[in-house]
Chains A and B, each alone.
Chain A
Amino acid sequence: MKVEVDLEKCQDHGQCVYAAPGLFALNEQGRLSLRSRAAAVYVADVAEENAEELHEAADICPLQAITVHE
């Protein structure tokens, strides 16, 4: 499965970090750490074992910036 994060929608609330600490983190500036790897849209493979926390993160994102591709 893949995760897609729209970094223009994202406002760094960090809810995904609480829901899926294995997938998301905030950097020292309080911004999503994966911003260093993409400018507008971040896409990456996610292991099946992380499926549940990924769905949880996608669900609770206040900006709905996370999409899961099965």
Chain B
Amino acid sequence: MTVTTEDLLPFRDPGFRADPYPYYARLRQEHPVYRHPAGLYVVSRYEDVARLIRNPTLSVQQLDFGPAAPIHHTVLGKDAPDHTRLRRITNRWFTPKAVEGWTEVTRASVAAVLDEVENGDGTLDAADGLSLKCTFETTCHIFGIEPSEMDTIQRKTYEIGLSLGPGGNDDEAVVTTEAFAWFTEHIRRLVAGKRAHPGEGLIDAFIAAQDEGRMTEDEVVYTIFLFFAVGHLDVKHLINHGLWLMTQQPGLFAVYRDEPAARPGIINEILRIDTPESMVVRLTTQDTVVGDRTVPAGEALALLIASANRDPEVFADPDTFDHTRPVAASQHLAFGSGMHGCAGQVLARAEADVVFSSIVNRFSGIELAGEPAYAHTEFLRTITHLPLRFR
């Protein structure tokens, strides 16, 4: 660990937010365990991040989420045994067999969008018009509800995300609190609607779990919030970023079309090279060895998964997109790992594949029809506009 007066991770700096990777590279090289001025211990090397992210003594339940405190009612904010109890309620909903059914909804949603593109002028702002739309409609189908309030849900989720990184300020905290209030009211209304008109969706399963005493009401409400959020937030970036890469590397489009066996590797490489969520945060509950230092109990660790995914010790030439990297050499950490690893990753990969496959099977290429726009935070990579022309 090193104490320096210079802020090596200037979370609010627009340059850092646009391209944090040079900052990460310097940390890995010079300060692999860095005490940030905000008080966090920042861990940036793959080996350390991969080990710590599985360390069962690190807590999320004891973290202070500030204005995002309702997250403590979800798996993201609970340790065992509550974490185990909640995760068991939902894990069967995201098995490969279940996902096969869900992606039929994604496929229909994508087909409808591409029909309009074909019948229109051949252009589309893919960020909201495709990536958001098809993932949101899939989430709503899983819940067992009609899609509604898509744009508001996207905006409110982003406003909560503003407070999840270490760089948030008071204004963002107010916006986050208001966004949670909106979600709470919206979701209570949805649950009341499902109680009046039961179905067979995930919300019905949560209602049953609550009635059987396996979930509290707050757990039901905020788990639904969490699935609304992660149902689009990260997977949308995976899809947007993949489409953007196809416009920059014309060969990629043809490889995706002609080599189905290469598709999982391409999706993995998209996730590795621009990881949607840059970090996970944990609290030490005992003396914890990090690199060559020992961090005492009660300290927050920021595990920079986006930095780990560009560690040259593990990924040769890490800033270059290369979908032919050997799988066995290592695994990226975009979905996390260990007990808090992403439970929806089978679905996320499948949704991205449906979008990419549908496009390459129907068009001969895509190109930018305008400049993309971004709203990256220190925590979330976000493309807000992605104007595409389909050929």
* Docked complex Cα distance between A40 and B327 (Å): 12
With beta carbons under 8 angstroms apart, the residue of B56, B88, B342 that contacts A62 is B342
A30 in contact with B338 (CB, 8 Å): yes
* Docked complex Cα distance between A29 and B51 (Å): 8
What is the interface of chain A mostly: helix, strand, loop, or mixed?
loop
> B328-362 CB contact bits vs A (8 Å, 1 = yes)?
10010001011101110110000000000000000
Question: What class of interface size applies to chain A in its complex with B?
Answer: 10 to 19
* Docked complex Cα distance between A13 and B53 (Å): 11
Q: Is B92 an interface residue (CB 8 A)?
A: yes
The closest CB in chain A to the CB of B93 belongs to A60
- Count of B interface residues, CB-CB < 8 Å: 25
Q: Is A8 an interface residue (CB 8 A)?
A: yes
B contact residues around A29 at 8 Å (CB): 51, 54-56
A11 in contact with B341 (CB, 8 Å): yes
B contact residues around A4 at 8 Å (CB): none
B346 in contact with A64 (CB, 8 Å): yes
Q: Is A15 an interface residue (CB 8 A)?
A: yes
Q: Is B87 an interface residue (CB 8 A)?
A: yes
B328 in contact with A8 (CB, 8 Å): yes
Chain A proximity of B55: nearest CB distance (Å): 6
With beta carbons under 8 angstroms apart, the residue of A14, A18, A40, A59 that contacts B338 is A14
Chain B proximity of A46: nearest CB distance (Å): 20
Q: Is B95 an interface residue (CB 8 A)?
A: yes
With beta carbons under 8 angstroms apart, the residue of A14, A18, A60 that contacts B95 is A60
B contact residues around A40 at 8 Å (CB): 328
Q: Is B197 an interface residue (CB 8 A)?
A: no
Q: Is A26 an interface residue (CB 8 A)?
A: yes
With beta carbons under 8 angstroms apart, the residue of A13, A14, A59, A62 that contacts B97 is A59
Interface residues of B in 75-115 (CB under 8 A from A): 84, 87-88, 91-92, 94-97
Contact status of A30 and B54, CB under 8 A, knowing A11-B337, A60-B95, A62-B94: yes
* Docked complex Cα distance between A30 and B2 (Å): 28
**In this complex, which of A14, A28, A31, A63 has the most chain B Cβ atoms within 10 angstroms of its Cβ?**
A14
* Docked complex Cα distance between A11 and B341 (Å): 8
* Docked complex Cα distance between A26 and B331 (Å): 19
Q: Is A12 an interface residue (CB 8 A)?
A: yes
B contact residues around A26 at 8 Å (CB): 56, 339
The closest CB in chain B to the CB of A30 belongs to B54
B54 in contact with A62 (CB, 8 Å): no
B contact residues around A11 at 8 Å (CB): 331, 335, 337-338, 341
A30 in contact with B95 (CB, 8 Å): no
* Docked complex Cα distance between A13 and B337 (Å): 6
B84 in contact with A18 (CB, 8 Å): yes
B54 in contact with A59 (CB, 8 Å): no
Chain B proximity of A29: nearest CB distance (Å): 6
Chain B proximity of A11: nearest CB distance (Å): 4
> A10-30 CB contact bits vs B (8 Å, 1 = yes)?
011111001000000010111
Chain A proximity of B289: nearest CB distance (Å): 12
Interface residues of A in 31-70 (CB under 8 A from B): 31, 40, 59-60, 62-64
Chain B proximity of A60: nearest CB distance (Å): 5
B54 in contact with A12 (CB, 8 Å): yes
What are 23 A-B residue pairs whose CB atoms fall within 8 Å in the complex? A8-B328, A8-B331, A11-B341, A12-B338, A13-B338, A13-B341, A15-B343, A28-B56, A29-B54, A29-B56, A30-B54, A31-B54, A40-B328, A59-B95, A59-B96, A59-B97, A60-B92, A62-B335, A62-B343, A62-B345, A62-B346, A63-B345, A64-B346
Q: Which B residues contact A (CB, under 8 angstroms)?
A: 51, 54-56, 84, 87-88, 91-92, 94-97, 327-328, 331, 335, 337-339, 341-343, 345-346
- For the complex with contacts A59-B95, A62-B342, 12 further pairs of A-B residues with Cβ separation under 8 Å are A8-B328, A8-B331, A11-B335, A11-B337, A12-B339, A13-B341, A26-B56, A30-B55, A60-B91, A62-B94, A62-B335, A62-B343
Q: Which A-B residue pairs are the 7 nearest by beta carbons?
A: A30-B54, A30-B56, A11-B337, A13-B341, A60-B91, A14-B339, A8-B328
